[in-house]
C-alpha cells in the first residue's frame, strides 16, 4: 500500500522538478495515445518536442511564437497569484490587435518612427479596457470574472468578424474579409532584432516587461500584496489591501499584456487582420503560466517549450497529416500531469507497512 | 420586412430544441456544484460526448445507442477531473480548464475521420392522434425522446436532492464537507460520483448537439454552450426548476437571433451572434449583484478541496 504523508515544508526540489516531470510524462503518454490512434509515435514525438529546438528554420520561428505566449502568461500569472482568474486573454488579445490595428490603418500612408509605438499604446489600452470589463463587474456586482472574461472572448471574435467585413476591410482587397497588410507596410511592420531565434521588437519588449514583472513580484510591496491576496484574502484585508484595487490591477495588466501581444502578432507574424487571426495563444498561455509556476523565469522556459509544440504541431500536420488538434491534446495533458504531480510538493509518497 | 414568417408555435418548438443541450449540461453541473465541486470542464465533457455519441451512432446506426455513448464518453472523461481534484487535491479551476482544453483536442483527434458524414435520424416520439393536433399537439407532442428525458431529468434531480436521504448527504458535502466527513460519509467518493453524473449529462448534451441540432460532426461544434451552462447554474441559484427557465430563455434568444439573421434584418449577423454571450453576462451580473442572496444559495464549500486530516 502507498500512502500520502504531509511534508513539514513544501519541497523546493519538487516545485522545480514537477514541471519537467509533467513534460516527460506527456511525451510518454502522448506516444501511447498516438499508438491507440494508429499514428507512428516516435516520429510524431520527435517532431513535436525535439525538432523545433534543433532545426535552424524552426529555431527562427521559436520566439515568434514564444513571445506572445510568454507576454500573455506573464500578465495572467500576476492575476493567478492573487486568485483573480482571467481566462479571457484570447479576447483581450483580439481587442488589442483591433485597437492597435485600427490606429495603424487610420494612419495608412503616413511615415514616422512614432506610428508603431502609438499603435502599441492603443493595443495595450484596448486589451486593458476589455480586461477591465470583468474586473468592474466583479468589483461592483460580484459577477464571476471567470465566466465574464470567457464570454467576452466570443464577443470579441464576433466583433473581429464584423470589423474585417466592415470598416477595417482593405479598400483594394477585392472584397475579401481582411484588412490591409500592416506587416508589409514599413512604418507599421514590426522590425526584426535577432532573426535566428525569431526575436523581433515584440520579443525585446516582452523580455523587458518580463524583467519588470520579476521586479514587481519579488521586490515591490505591490507584488507582496498581490501574493498575500492570493494566499490569504483575509490577512490581506487586515493588512489594508483593497481587494477591488487588486482585481482591477490584475485584469487591467493582464489585459494590456494580452493586447500588446495581439498587436505584435498582427504587425509581425500575421500581417493582417482576418477572421482566423486568433490562434488560441490566450488559452495556451494559461498552461504556460502554470507550467512556469507563475514565476517570470519559469514562464520564459515554459513559453519556449509550448512554442515548440506549436511549431512541431504545424510540421506534424504537414508531414504526418496529423490534425492540428493533436497539439491541443498534448497541451491539455501537460496541464493535467502538472496539476496531478503538484501533490508531490506538499506530500511525500510513503510505503505503508502492514500493522502488526 | 416580413415578420409573418416568425410562427410563434414553430419558434417555441425550435427554442426547446436549442435549449436542450444547455439544459442537460446545466442540470449535471448543478449536481456537481451541490456536492461542492466547481467543474469548469463542462465544455470539454460536452465536446467529448458530441464525438463519442456521433461515432457510436454512425457505427451502430442507432441514435439511442449514440446518446448512451455520448453520456458514457462524458462520464469517462470527467473521471480524470474527479481523480485529480478529489484524490490529488489539485486546484479545481485550473483542472477544469485543463479538462476543457484536453477534451476539445481529444474530440477533434477522435473525430478526424468523421467529417461530412450524416448521422442516423433521431425520430420524434409519435403519440398517435395527438402529435398532429394543431398548436397544442405541436407544442407538447412533437419532440424527440431526449427532450422529454431532459425535463424528466430535471424533475428527478429535484426529487433526489430535496426528497431523498442520498440527496441530503450530497448537499451536506457541498455545504460543510468536514461535518459530512465526521458523520462518516465518504466525501471524496460522493463528489466523485457527482462529477461523473455531471460528465454524463454534459456528454448527453453534447451528443444532442452532434446528432440532432447540427446534425454533423465538426471540430469545436459546441461553441461555448458548456460555458453558458455554467452561467445558467448561477442564474438558477442552484435550483433545478430554474435551470429549465434559464435554459429555455437562452434557447429563445438563440432562436430569435437566428430568425432575425434569416430575415435579413439591418443589424449585422456578427452583432446578432454576440447576443447570447452578452445576455449571459447581463444575467450573471443581475444574479450576482445581491451578494447576500448569492452567498445564501451557493453551496458553502463550492470549489474547496477536501482532505481528511485523519
CATH of the domain at B110: 1.10.3470
How many distinct structural domains can be found in chain B?
1
pLDDT of residue B151: 95
Grid cell in block for residue A25: 510524462
pLDDT band at B154 (very low <50, low <70, confident <90, very high): very high
Give Cα separations from B51 to A3, B148, B207, B221 (angstroms): 37, 22, 7, 10
Question: Can you tell me the mean pLDDT for A127-143?
Answer: 95
Residue B158 confidence (pLDDT) = 96
- Rounded distance, CA A106 to CA A120, Å? 14
Q: How far does the CA of residue A352 sit from the closest CA of chain B (Å)?
A: 15
Give the Cβ contact number of residue B183 at 10 Å: 9
CA distance A64 to A269: 7
Predicted confidence at residue B310, as pLDDT, reads 52
Nearest CA distance, B100 vs chain A (angstrom): 8
Give A30-64 pLDDT, tens digit per residue. Answer: 888 888 877 788 888 888 888 888 888 888 888 99
Contacts of A5 (CB under 8 A, 6+ apart): A347, A348, A349, A350
pLDDT tens readout for residues A162-184: 999 888 888 887 778 888 888 88
Q: Report, as an integer, the average pLDDT of B190-217.
A: 95
Instruction: Return mean pLDDT, chain B.
Output: 88
What is the C-alpha separation between B306 and A107, in angstroms, rounded? 57
Condensed to tens digits (0 to 9), the pLDDT of residues A67-95 reads: 999 999 999 999 999 989 999 999 999 99
Contacts of A77 in chain B (CB under 8 A): none
Which residue stretches of chain A are H helix? Answer: 12-36, 41-45, 51-54, 56-81, 89-106, 115-141, 145-165, 201-219, 221-231, 233-238, 243-265, 281-291, 296-320, 325-341, 343-346
- Taking a C-beta distance cutoff of 8 angstroms, is the pair B130, B138 a contact? no
Residue B310 in domain? no
Min Cα distance A111 → chain B (Å) is 34
Mean pLDDT of B248-262: 85
What does the pLDDT look like over B83-126, one tens digit per residue? 999 999 888 988 999 999 999 999 988 888 888 888 888 887 77
Q: Nearest 5 degrees, angle CA A227-CA A232-CA A238?
A: 100
Highest mean pLDDT among A224-238, A299-313, B263-277: A299-313
In a domain, B308, yes or no: no
Question: pLDDT band at A130, cuts 50/70/90?
Answer: very high
Q: Which residues of A touch B100 (CB under 8 A)?
A: 332
Cα–Cα distance between A304 and A53 in angstroms, integer? 9
Residue B1 has what pLDDT? 44
Q: How many CB atoms lie within 10 A of CB A205?
A: 18
Q: Which residue has the higher pLDDT, A349 or A17?
A: A17
% of chain A at pLDDT higher than 90: 44
The yes/no answer to whether this complex scores an ipTM above 0.90 is no
Does residue B304 fall inside a structural domain?
no
Domain assignment present for residue B302? The answer is no
pLDDT at B222: 84
**pTM of the predicted model, to two decimals?**
0.90
pLDDT surpassing 90 at residue A227:
no
**Interchain contact B152–A (C-beta under 8 A):** no
The reported pLDDT for the residue numbered A150 is 92
Q: Is the pLDDT of residue A356 over 80?
A: no
Nearest chain B residue (CA) to A334: B98
Residues near B149 by Cβ (< 8 Å), separated by ≥ 6? none
Nearest to B227 among A147, A330, A342 (CB): A147
Q: For the residues A197-218, what does the mean pLDDT come to?
A: 89
Q: Which of B89, B95, B109, B217 to mutate to test the interface with A (most CBs of A within 10 A)?
A: B109
Asked if the Cβ–Cβ distance from A336 to B219 is below 8 Å, we say no
Q: Taking residues A233-259, what's their average pLDDT?
A: 91
Average confidence (pLDDT) over B132-150: 81
B280 at A interface, C-beta within 8 A: yes
- The owner of cell 460522493 is B190
Q: How far is B295 from chain A (nearest CA, A)?
A: 10
Contact call for B277 and A154, based on CB within 8 A: yes
| Cβ-proximal residues to A320 (8 Å cutoff; 6+ apart), any chain | A39, A40, A43, A44, A47
Sign, CA dihedral A48-A50-A51-A55, equals positive
Asked whether residue B14 carries a pLDDT value surpassing 80, the answer given is yes
A101 CB-near residues (< 8 Å, 6+ apart): A119, A123, A168, A179, A182, A263, A266, A273
Q: List, in sequence order, every residue forming a beta bridge with A2; answer none if it has no partner.
A: A351
Give the tens place of pLDDT for each residue, A300-313: 999 999 999 889 88
- Strands A347-351 and A192-194, by their bridges, are unpaired
Question: With b meaning 16 or more CB within 10 Å and e meaning fewer, what string describes B201-221?
Answer: bbbbbbbbbbbbbebbbebeb
pLDDT at B141: 75
Closest CA to B221 of B6, B70, B29: B70
Asked if A142 lies within 8 A of B104 by C-beta distance, the reply is no
The C-alpha angle with vertex B265 and arms to B262 and B270, in degrees rounded to 5, equals 75
List the single residue in A143, A151, A332 with the smallest CB-CB distance to B98.
A332
* Residue B98 falls inside a structural domain: yes
Please check whether residue B55 lies inside any domain of the structure: yes
User: Rounded to a whole number, what is the distance in Å from the CA of A94 to chain B's nearest CA?
Assistant: 15
Predicted pLDDT at A188: 86
Q: What is the chain A residue with the closest CA to B220?
A: A325
Q: Using CA atoms, how far apart are residues B298 and B242, in angstroms rounded to an integer?
A: 14
Question: At CB < 8 A and 24+ separation, what contacts does A21-30 make?
Answer: A21/A337, A21/A341, A22/A291, A22/A334, A22/A337, A22/A338, A22/A341, A23/A49, A23/A291, A23/A305, A23/A334, A25/A337, A25/A341, A26/A330, A26/A333, A26/A334, A26/A337, A29/A333, A29/A337, A30/A329, A30/A330, A30/A333
pLDDT confidence of B3, banded at 50, 70, 90?
low
In chain B, residues 285-304 whose CB comes closer than 8 Å to chain A: 285, 288-289, 291, 294
- Which residues are CB-contacts of B249 (< 8 A; sequence separation ≥ 6)? none
Domains and CATH numbers, chain A: 40-321 (1.10.3470)
Task: Of B41, B202, B306, give the one whose Cα is nearest residue A146.
Answer: B41
Rounded Cα–Cα distance for residues A270 and A96 (Å): 14
Tell me the residue range of the domain where B98 lies.
Answer: 8-297
Instruction: Report the residue of B29, B91, B285, B305 to disrupt the A interface, i.e. the one with the largest count of A CBs within 10 Å.
Output: B285
Amino acid at each position: 500500500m502507498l500512502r500520502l504523508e504531509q511534508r513539514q515544508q513544501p519541497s523546493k526540489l519538487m516545485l522545480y522538478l514537477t514541471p519537467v516531470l509533467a513534460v516527460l510524462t506527456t511525451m510518454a503518454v502522448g506516444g501511447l495515445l498516438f499508438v491507440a490512434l494508429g499514428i507512428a509515435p516516435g516520429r510524431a514525438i520527435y517532431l513535436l518536442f525535439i525538432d523545433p529546438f534543433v532545426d535552424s528554420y524552426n529555431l527562427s520561428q521559436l520566439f515568434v511564437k514564444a513571445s506572445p505566449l510568454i507576454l500573455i502568461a506573464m500578465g495572467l500569472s500576476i492575476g493567478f497569484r492573487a486568485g483573480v482568474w482571467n481566462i479571457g486573454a484570447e479576447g483581450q488579445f483580439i481587442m488589442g490587435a483591433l485597437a492597435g490595428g485600427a490606429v495603424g490603418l487610420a494612419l495608412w500612408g503616413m511615415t514616422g518612427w512614432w506610428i508603431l509605438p502609438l499603435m502599441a499604446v492603443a493595443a495595450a489600452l484596448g486589451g486593458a479596457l476589455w480586461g477591465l470589463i470583468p474586473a468592474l463587474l466583479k468589483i461592483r456586482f460580484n459577477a464571476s470574472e471567470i465566466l465574464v472574461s470567457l464570454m467576452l472572448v466570443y464577443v470579441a471574435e464576433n466583433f473581429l468578424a464584423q470589423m474585417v467585413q466592415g470598416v477595417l476591410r482593405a479598400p483594394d482587397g477585392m472584397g475579401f474579409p481582411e484588412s490591409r497588410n500592416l506587416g508589409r507596410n514599413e512604418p507599421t511592420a514590426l522590425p526584426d532584432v535577432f532573426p535566428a531565434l525569431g526575436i523581433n521588437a515584440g520579443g525585446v519588449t516582452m523580455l523587458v516587461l518580463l524583467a519588470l514583472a520579476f521586479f514587481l513580484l519579488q521586490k515591490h510591496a505591490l507584488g507582496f500584496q498581490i501574493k498575500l491576496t492570493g494566499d490569504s484574502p483575509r490577512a490581506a484585508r487586515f493588512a489594508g489591501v483593497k481587494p477591488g484595487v487588486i482585481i482591477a490591477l490584475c485584469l487591467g495588466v493582464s489585459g494590456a499584456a494580452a493586447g500588446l501581444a495581439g498587436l505584435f502578432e498582427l504587425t509581425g507574424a500575421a500581417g493582417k487582420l482576418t477572421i482566423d487571426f486568433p490562434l488560441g495563444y490566450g488559452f495556451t498561455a494559461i498552461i504556460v503560466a502554470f507550467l512556469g509556476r507563475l514565476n517570470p523565469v519559469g514562464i520564459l522556459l515554459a513559453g519556449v517549450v509550448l512554442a515548440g509544440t506549436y511549431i512541431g504541431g504545424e510540421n506534424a500536420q504537414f508531414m504526418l497529416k496529423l490534425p492540428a488538434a493533436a497539439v491541443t491534446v498534448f497541451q491539455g495533458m501537460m496541464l493535467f500531469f502538472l496539476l496531478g504531480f503538484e501533490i508531490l510538493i506538499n506530500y511525500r509518497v510513503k510505503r505503508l507497512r502492514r500493522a502488526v | 420586412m416580413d415578420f409573418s414568417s416568425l410562427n410563434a408555435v414553430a419558434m417555441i418548438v425550435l427554442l426547446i430544441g436549442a435549449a436542450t443541450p444547455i439544459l442537460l449540461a446545466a442540470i449535471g453541473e448543478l449536481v456537481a456544484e451541490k456536492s461542492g465541486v466547481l467543474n469548469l470542464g463542462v465544455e470539454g465533457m460536452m465536446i467529448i460526448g458530441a464525438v463519442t455519441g456521433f461515432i457510436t451512432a454512425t457505427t451502430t446506426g442507432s441514435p439511442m445507442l449514440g446518446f448512451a455513448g455520448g453520456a458514457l464518453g462524458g462520464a469517462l472523461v470527467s473521471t480524470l477531473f474527479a481523480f485529480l481534484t478529489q484524490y490529488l487535491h489539485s486546484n479545481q479551476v485550473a483542472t477544469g480548464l485543463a479538462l476543457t482544453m484536453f477534451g476539445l483536442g481529444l474530440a477533434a483527434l477522435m473525430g478526424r475521420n468523421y467529417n461530412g458524414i450524416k448521422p442516423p435520424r433521431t425520430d420524434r416520439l409519435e403519440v398517435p392522434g395527438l402529435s398532429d393536433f394543431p398548436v397544442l399537439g405541436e407544442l407538447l407532442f412533437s419532440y424527440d425522446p431526449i427532450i422529454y428525458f431532459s425535463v424528466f431529468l430535471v424533475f428527478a434531480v429535484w426529487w433526489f436532492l430535496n426528497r431523498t436521504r442520498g440527496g441530503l448527504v450530497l448537499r451536506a458535502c457541498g455545504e460543510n464537507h468536514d461535518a459530512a466527513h465526521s458523520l462518516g460519509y465518504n466525501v471524496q467518493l460522493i463528489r466523485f460520483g457527482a462529477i461523473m453524473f455531471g460528465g454524463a449529462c454534459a456528454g448527453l448534451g453534447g451528443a444532442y448537439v452532434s446528432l440532432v441540432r447540427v446534425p454533423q460532426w465538426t471540430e469545436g461544434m459546441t461553441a461555448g454552450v458548456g460555458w453558458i451552462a455554467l452561467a445558467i447554474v448561477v442564474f438558477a441559484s442552484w435550483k433545478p426548476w430554474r435551470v429549465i427557465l434559464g435554459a429555455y430563455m437562452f434557447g429563445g434568444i438563440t432562436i430569435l437571433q437566428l430568425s432575425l439573421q434569416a430575415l435579413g434584418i439591418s443589424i449585422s449577423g456578427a452583432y446578432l451572434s454576440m447576443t447570447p454571450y452578452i445576455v449571459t453576462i447581463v444575467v450573471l451580473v443581475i444574479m450576482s449583484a445581491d451578494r447576500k442572496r448569492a452567498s445564501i444559495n451557493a453551496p458553502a464549500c463550492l470549489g474547496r478541496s477536501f482532505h481528511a486530516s485523519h
